[in-house]
Amino acid sequence: MQLETVRIQLTEADTHIALFRDVANVGALYGRLIAKNPEFEYAFIDASTIVSPLHLLSAIFRAYICYATGKLQTNNIHSEIVLSLSPNNNINESYRRWGPTPGKTKDMIVVKVVPDNVSEPRPTADGIRAHLAQHIDGRSVPFSDEEIRKSTDRSKVTKYYKLKCPTLDNLKDPAQREREEERLVIMGMALREL
């Protein structure tokens, strides 16, 4: 199973991320999430709503800053990541849109942020990998630009981030268009509370 561990700039935390394709037990995972099972302290994200790794990492960065400065609007840093993906402040809507939906979500991203100051025993990459391998019934693929883009539902993203705008209409080159789309998505998240 592939688990990516990154140090996001300006955070004091390890961020572990895995991408699973065709997850068969979304319903069971969703149930544990709803039950706030402490063993399942992860952010589960419907991969079809994500345009690139940078998109998700930007949301994690934001959630981390909220966590570090005591400004969480949700229960913990993992639910905050889901809210941080939204361009508005509606928490329930953010869970519905970016969280997993039984029967609908196919590809799923799992994130675990382990701040440097958490008390021991500190979750390790190996521990997380083992735990995810045991509980997620899906095919592990690299958390890469290429793989993420295969999962992206463009019409959903366009709707959620209100991407219909002259800037994108006028960009003909697909690579440039994708880059600009990513920027506008990140900007939408940054301007959430305005």
Partner 1 sequence: MAAASEPEPEFPLPQVLTYPASTPPLLITQGAEGRLYKSVHVLSNRPCALKYRPSKAWRHPVLDARLTKARMSSEAKVLDRCRREGVPVPAVYAMDAVAGWMMLEWIDGVPVRAAINGWLGERPETEPTPDETVDPAPLAGLMRRIGAAIGGLHRVGVVHGDLTTSNMMLRPWADANTEGGGGGGGGGGHGDQSKLLDGDVVIIDFGLATQSSSDEDRAVDIYVLERAFASTHPRAEKFFDYVLEAYGESFKKAPSVLKKLADVRMRGRKRSMLG
Q: Which residues bind partner 1 (CB under 8 A)?
A: 8-12, 54, 57-58, 61-62, 65, 68-69, 71, 165-167, 170, 176, 179, 183-184, 186-187, 190-191, 193-194
DSSP-derived secondary structure letter, 162: T
Between 63 and 110, name the residue whose CB sits nearer to partner 1. Answer: 63
Minimal distance in Å, beta carbon 162 to partner 1? 9
Q: What is the DSSP letter of 91?
A: H
Go through 156-188 and write b for each residue having 16 or more CB atoms within 10 A of its CB, e for each that does not: ebeebbebeeeeeeeeeeeeeebebbbebbbeb
- What is the distance in angstroms between the CA of the first residue and the CA of the last residue of the chain? 40
User: Which residue, 12 or 93, is less far from partner 1 as judged by CB?
Assistant: 12
88 or 101: CB nearest partner 1 = 88
Distance CA 167, CA 177 (A): 9
Tell me the closest approach of the beta carbon of residue 59 to partner 1, in angstroms.
10
Side chain identity at 2, as an amino acid letter? Q
Least distance (Å) between residue 180 CB and partner 1: 9
Min dist. Cβ of residue 24 to partner 1 (A) = 32
Q: Which is nearer to partner 1, 130 or 187 (CB)?
A: 187
Grouping H, G, I as helix, E, B as strand and the rest as coil, residue 85 is coil
